[in-house]
Chain A
């Protein structure tokens, strides 16, 4: 069963615009992570937010976490064509095993 559900499934924007992706989950978590996957490649870790954090920034990325609503959002500001990829949220509810449960992902297309 999937822990995370992402919305939208697909997003198409123009270069320079902001992109927002949302993730909802079902159970209590230790942390929530976002990953990027370029076509045909492995996933790359972007950012991790712990359950006691509400917002985190990394470069053009901003992640928010609302544990009361069991949801998170990833904002990419001033998008570039190179941001075209699939983005996945993953939740860690495992305690100490590090097991992650991934959502189905949002496919982002940034048009030049």
Chain B
């Protein structure tokens, strides 16, 4: 998995609690992405980053925030988790010097009860 780790790998949390997911890369790639994967919806982009402290919204950003203070780390925060945010979350990276292919982490399965 191309030097990408996600933590935690599994988490169960209660509605209304804050949750932070971490993506860590060792590839020094500039671009990082957070997706969620749900049955019937494929992968949908939540937020992405094109450099340290440079982030932008994706297709389904409501209820999520991100931060990137270092090249290697991209954090996804659910400020107040809801049951609709139960999903599998994937982080991906890409190198703008390449052709645009993305490399994915192993995923985090989040359950909000």
Taking CB atoms, residues of chain A closer than 8 Å to B74 are none
Number of interface residues of A (CB under 8 A): 28
Which interface class (under 10, 10 to 19, 20 to 34, 35 or more) fits B?
20 to 34
Known: A42-B107, A97-B50. A104 touches B41 (CB 8 A): yes
Whether A48 pairs with B43 at a CB distance below 8 angstroms is no
Whether B105 pairs with A48 at a CB distance below 8 angstroms is no
Whether A97 pairs with B101 at a CB distance below 8 angstroms is no
Q: B103 at the A/B interface (Cβ < 8 Å)?
A: yes
Q: A1 at the A/B interface (Cβ < 8 Å)?
A: yes
Chain B contacts to A: CB under 8 angstroms: 1, 4, 31, 33, 35, 40-45, 48, 50, 56, 58-59, 90, 92, 94, 96, 99-107
Chain A contacts to B: CB under 8 angstroms: 1-2, 4, 30-31, 33, 35, 40-45, 48, 50, 88, 90, 92, 96-105
